[in-house]
């Protein structure tokens, strides 16, 4: 459980957590892999959300998913993409957040994901929360915590982990 004051500091910039759907590159599940390769190449991301015609989130598509279809043991052939759609190679069953997810859920899931799609109850894609934005908030926390709060240790002696890390507890 995240402490009340720590959570308050982390959430001070929560308006910046979500990158809105309008600002996120996406592809449709029925787009050709050729088109998806162009999108991924031009936006500079290695993975993007996949949507259906009603803007429901259905999965993620990564550059590696496409490249695996082009590469064999002996050559690279973009003709292998002919006739394939995003739906043929996209990742399904991936981690995502809902508009009701709490900070602790976000932090746990971002350990293994560079970004998380956010959806509403109808699975409409709302945008993404990135590890980068959360790290900015963490940076804010570590720089402002002791400026705003007087921290009092709960124990009188330094912990072993403090000595090992070279920290001096006063």
Per-residue pLDDT at 7 = 85
pTM over 0.85: no
* pLDDT band, residue 11 (cuts 50/70/90): confident
Query: According to the per-residue pLDDT averaged within each range, which of 66-80, 110-124, 127-141 is highest?
Result: 110-124
Question: Given this model, what pLDDT does residue 127 score?
Answer: 97
Computed over every residue of the chain, the mean pLDDT equals 89
CA distance 147 to 149: 6
97/93 Cα distance (integer angstroms) = 12
Percent of the chain with pLDDT over 70: 91
Confidence label for 19 from pLDDT (cuts 50, 70 and 90) = very high
For residues 1 and 104, what is the distance between their CA atoms, to the nearest angstrom? 7
Instruction: For 83-107, give one letter per residue: b (16+ CB within 10 A) or e.
Output: eebbbebbeeebebbeeeeebeebe
What CATH number should be reported for the domain whose range is 4-164?
Answer: 3.10.580.10
């Amino acid at each position: 459980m995240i402490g009340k004051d720590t959570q308050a500091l982390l959430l001070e910039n929560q308006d910046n957590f979500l990158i809105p759907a309008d600002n996120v590159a996406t592809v449709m599940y029925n787009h050709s892999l050729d088109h998806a390769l162009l999108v991924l190449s031009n936006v500079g991301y290695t993975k993007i959300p996949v949507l259906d015609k009603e803007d429901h989130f259905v999965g993620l598509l990564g550059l590696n998913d496409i490249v695996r279809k082009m590469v064999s043991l002996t050559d690279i052939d973009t003709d292998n993409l002919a006739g394939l759609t995003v739906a043929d190679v996209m990742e399904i069953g991936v981690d995502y957040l809902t508009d009701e997810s709490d900070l602790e859920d976000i932090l746990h899931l971002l350990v293994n994901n560079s970004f998380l799609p956010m959806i509403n109850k109808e699975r409409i894609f709302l945008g993404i929360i990135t590890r980068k934005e959360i790290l900015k908030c963490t940076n804010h926390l570590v720089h402002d915590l002791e400026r705003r709060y007087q921290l009092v240790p709960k124990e009188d002696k330094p912990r072993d982990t403090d000595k090992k890390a070279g920290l001096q507890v006063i």
